[in-house]
Amino acid sequence: MKVEQKGHTTIVKDTESSISQFIEKLISQYSTFKKYNLILDITHDKNMSINALKEFTELTKLHKENSKSLIIVASEIDFNKVPAALQVVPSVLEAHDIIEMEEIERDLGF
């Protein structure tokens, strides 16, 4: 797991051998990340499935309860099949854009 801090956002790049291990590490270190918007970069896994992405659902709910954004960056998936509870984009730049929009919405009280 590689962590990079950029302002109010933390980018966590997956370097684990499985998504389950990556999620376990994120949960065990969650107190470190809970104050920041999160971008989870899992683009190195070219065999990512929708079912594997669903494993992020509980972590996403927990993070939203803390009024922070959690965006997953994945490639080579069918974005139309991603569950509505998850925000998945194809690039880190798009993830930053979504976080900025959500920050504005929170500031306006939405």
Question: Quick one: average pLDDT of 16-33?
Answer: 91
Question: How does residue 46 score in pLDDT terms, banded at 50, 70 and 90?
Answer: confident
* DSSP notation for 36-92: SEEEEE-TT-TT--HHHHGGGHHHHHHHHHTT--EEEE--SS-GGGS-TT--EESSH
9: left (phi over 0), alpha (psi -120 to 50) or beta: beta
Cα–chain center distance at 97 = 13
CATH of the domain at 15: 3.30.750.24
Q: What residues pair up with 55 in beta bridges, in sequence order?
A: none
pLDDT of 29 above 90: yes
pLDDT of residue 18: 87
Question: Quick one: average pLDDT of 39-43?
Answer: 96
pLDDT of residue 110: 80
Average pLDDT of the chain, as a whole number: 93
Question: How does residue 17 score in pLDDT terms, banded at 50, 70 and 90?
Answer: confident
How far is the C-alpha of 71 from the C-alpha of 26, rounded, in Å? 14
Domain span including residue 55: 2-108
The total number of structural domains in the chain stands at 1
pTM of the shown model: 0.93
